[in-house]
Chains A and B, each alone.
Chain A
Amino acid sequence: ETGVTQSPTHLIKTRGQQVTLRCSSQSGHNTVSWYQQALGQGPQFIFQYYREEENGRGNFPPRFSGLQFPNYSSELNVNALELDDSALYLCASSRRAGRQETQYFGPGTRLLVL
């Protein structure tokens, strides 16, 4: 176990809806990264939060947004869901952005958009 938790484990939404996914970091970690893993693919970087500020973003549209809280837990919000948003969403926490600290992954949230 990595100490990183995510909720919910599974979620079913319909196209056009909004969804919020949650991540609790490992103790002592102040950086959270979110990844999208489509079926049969490797994870794709969505964005990273460091000390409550967005600290880098991948090639995802603005309807993907996030938050990091003072306790370093994090949320991923996706608006106007599309069918292609169906994927496993992974969060990973690490001690500090900017250095190559090992990222510890949560078990993921499986999102299905119908």
Chain B
Amino acid sequence: AQTVTQSQPEMSVQEAETVTLSCTYDTSESDYYLFWYKQPPSRQMILVIRQEAYKQQNATENRFSVNFQKAAKSFSLKISDSQLGDAAMYFCAYSPRYGGATNKLIFGTGTLLAVQP
């Protein structure tokens, strides 16, 4: 069974600094998708970034980038120039590319990011 592990329950960063959130996963599949979702106190889960496992290039979205290490099954999120609005719970999630007809997401337990002014 696929699993996702986030070993940092809480992280803190100073405004304008850079922070890296860690995620590891376990799967026997060779093709899959990885995601980082953000859940602010308002609770609405928002997609931050997505990585397709067959792509070598790390995904980037503005201040957010990932370090995808397929052999190590590691998928970390780097947030540059942190802003107060980045404070939230961050979830790493995995989805098989060909999971039957179901594109279900398997989530980690989350990392709570605090941004200090």
8 Å CB interface, B58-117 against A: 91, 93, 95, 97, 99-110
Q: Is A103 an interface residue (CB 8 A)?
A: yes
Within 8 A of A (CB), among B18-62: 33, 37, 42-47, 50, 52
Q: How many residues of A contact B (CB 8 A)?
A: 32
Shortest B5–chain A CB gap in Å is 10
Q: Among residues 52 to 105 in chain A, which have CB atoms less than 8 Å away from a CB atom of chain B?
A: 55-56, 58, 88, 90, 92, 94, 97-105
With A55-B102, A56-B101, A58-B104 known as contacts, the answer to whether A107 contacts B43 (CB < 8 A) is yes
On whether A98 and B103 interact (CB within 8 A), knowing A106-B44, A108-B43, the answer reads yes
Q: Pick the contact of B103 from A44, A94, A108 — CB < 8 Å?
A: A94
**In the bound complex, do residue A97 and residue B43 qualify as a contact, i.e. CB atoms below 8 Å apart?**
no
Which residues from chain A contact B45 at a C-beta distance below 8 Å? 43, 90, 92, 105
Complex: how many Å from CA A32 to CA B97?
A: 17
Q: CB distance A98 to B50 under 8 Å?
A: no
Using a CB–CB cutoff of 8 Å, the interface residues on chain A facing chain B are: 1-2, 31, 33, 35, 40-45, 48, 50, 55-56, 58, 88, 90, 92, 94, 97-108
5 CB < 8 A contacts A-B: A42-B110, A48-B104, A103-B103, A103-B105, A104-B47
